[in-house]
């Protein structure tokens, strides 16, 4: 049974006080349920919210990391430090990292491997651009990103990965994919994993949909059999909105 997982990616938003207030507010608004809730603040805020997250049963995630443990890598953050800060999850290969910061599939693969080396769970982001979608390359692009991103892992690691299907054109645009699109992409991800690793890994891996997820459309995604949660940007910035999104998702989850 896959435990549903919904994560808020704050991107480059919030101050220390805003972050601390958000966590308290969110914790007070969440209904009891079995959706694993993850907060992914910017690096400098991780230490400020870690303890409150732990107390309230929220999981902590980072938005990126380097693959090396330490060294002359100005401006980068080590997986060892993330572990030290009680981080559980790390988003890897978000399309903003790929598009704005030139991250390649190969770098993504190194980061995914490093995450396991430091006992962090990677949330591997994959998804097609509008151009690729229009050229009907969606399923092929997803399969390739999954194949390279997971290269070098063993099936027992792959089954613990979270894969976020995030069509680039849906991120921050207000234009979400349909539940059926997300379901088709998730099927492709499981098929690819089954071919390369094992059927068990393919069945166990959790798949999120991301891209303009809101309280109004979360149920469409949670109702899809192959979708196990969401990676949320804009709607994860306000504690009230995010709580309402998760509470609606809980209603869709068979516990
Ligand atoms: P959005 O962002 O929810 O604002 O579209 C999603 C993401 O970037 O993960």
The DSSP annotation for 58-122 comes to: -EEEES---SSSSSS-TT---HHHHHHTT--EEEES-HHHHHHS---HHHHHHHHHHHHHTT-EE
User: What gap in Å lies between CA 235 and CA 66, rounded to an integer?
Assistant: 27
The residues, ordered by sequence, that sit 6+ positions from 136 with a Cβ below 8 Å of its Cβ are: none
From the CA of 11, give the closest atom in ligand 1.
Answer: 8
Nearest to 164 by CA among 111, 197, 200, 124: 124
User: What gap in Å lies between CA 209 and CA 230, rounded to an integer?
Assistant: 5
From the CA of 232, give the closest atom in ligand 1.
Answer: 3
The residues, ordered by sequence, that sit 6+ positions from 223 with a Cβ below 8 Å of its Cβ are: 179, 252
Three-state DSSP class for 23?
helix
Query: How does pLDDT run across 68-125, given as a tens digit for each residue?
Result: 999 999 999 999 999 999 999 999 999 999 999 999 999 999 999 999 999 999 999 9
> Does residue 234 have its Cβ closer than 6 Å to ligand 1?
yes
Nearest to 150 by CA among 178, 124, 187: 124
Ligand 1 centre distance from Cα of residue 236 (Å)? 9
From the CA of 91, give the closest atom in ligand 1.
Answer: 9
How many of the other CB atoms lie within 10 Å of CB of 32?
8
- Give the pLDDT score at 161: 98
- Give the pLDDT score at 252: 77
Q: For the chain, list the strands marked E by DSSP.
A: 5-9, 36-40, 59-62, 89-92, 121-126, 162-165, 206-210, 229-232
List the helix and strand counts (H, then E) for the chain: 12, 8
Mean pLDDT of the chain: 97
Residue spans per domain, the chain: 5-249
- Give the pLDDT score at 251: 87
5-249 CATH pick, 3.40.190.10, 3.40.50.300, 3.40.50.150, 3.20.20.70: 3.20.20.70
Nearest to 89 by CA among 41, 121, 51: 121
Query: How does pLDDT run across 200-246, given as a tens digit for each residue?
Result: 999 999 999 999 999 999 999 999 999 999 999 999 999 999 999 99
Q: Which residue's CA lies nearest to atom 3 of ligand 1?
A: 233
From the CA of 176, give the closest atom in ligand 1.
Answer: 5
Query: How does pLDDT run across 165-196, given as a tens digit for each residue?
Result: 999 999 999 999 999 999 999 999 999 999 99
> Does residue 231 have its Cβ closer than 6 Å to ligand 1?
yes
Decide if 94 is catalytic.
yes
* DSSP class of 188: H
> Does residue 177 have its Cβ closer than 6 Å to ligand 1?
no
Of 13, 99, 221, 234, the one to substitute when testing ligand 1's pocket (max ligand atoms within 8 A of C-beta) is: 234
Ligand 1 centre distance from Cα of residue 198 (Å)? 30
Decide if 226 is catalytic.
no
Ligand 1 centre distance from Cα of residue 159 (Å)? 24
Q: Percentage of the chain with pLDDT > 90?
A: 98
Question: Would you say 92 and 125 are in contact if contact means Cβ atoms under 8 Å apart?
Answer: yes
Q: Which residue's CA lies nearest to atom 1 of ligand 1?
A: 233
Whether the pLDDT of residue 255 is over 90: the answer is: no
């Amino acid at each position: 049974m896959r435990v549903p997982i919904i994560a808020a990616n704050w991107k480059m938003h919030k101050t220390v006080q805003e972050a601390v207030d958000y966590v308290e507010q969110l914790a007070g608004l969440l209904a009891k349920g079995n959706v694993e809730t993850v907060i992914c603040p910017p690096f400098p805020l991780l230490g400020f919210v870690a303890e409150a997250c732990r107390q309230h049963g929220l999981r902590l995630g980072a938005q990126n990391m380097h693959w090396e443990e330490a060294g002359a890598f100005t401006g980068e953050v080590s997986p060892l430090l993330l572990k030290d800060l009680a981080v559980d999850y790390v988003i890897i290969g978000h399309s903003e990292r790929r598009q704005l910061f030139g991250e390649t599939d190969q770098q993504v693969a190194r980061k995914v491997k490093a995450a396991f080396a430091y006992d962090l769970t990677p949330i591997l982001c994959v998804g097609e651009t509008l151009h690729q979608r229009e050229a009907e390359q969606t399923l092929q692009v997803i399969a390739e990103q999954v194949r390279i991103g997971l290269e070098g892992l063993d099936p027992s690691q792959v089954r613990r990965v979270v894969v976020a299907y995030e069509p680039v054109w849906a991120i921050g645009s207000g234009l979400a994919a349909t539940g059926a699109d997300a379901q088709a992409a998730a099927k492709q991800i499981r098929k690819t994993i089954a071919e390369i690793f094992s059927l068990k890994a393919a069945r166990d891996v959790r798949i999120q949909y991301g891209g303009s997820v809101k309280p109004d459309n979360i149920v469409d995604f949670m109702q899809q059999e192959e979708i196990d949660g969401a990676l949320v940007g804009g709607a994860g910035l306000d504690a009230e909105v995010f709580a309402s999104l998760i509470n609606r998702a809980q209603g869709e989850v068979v516990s």
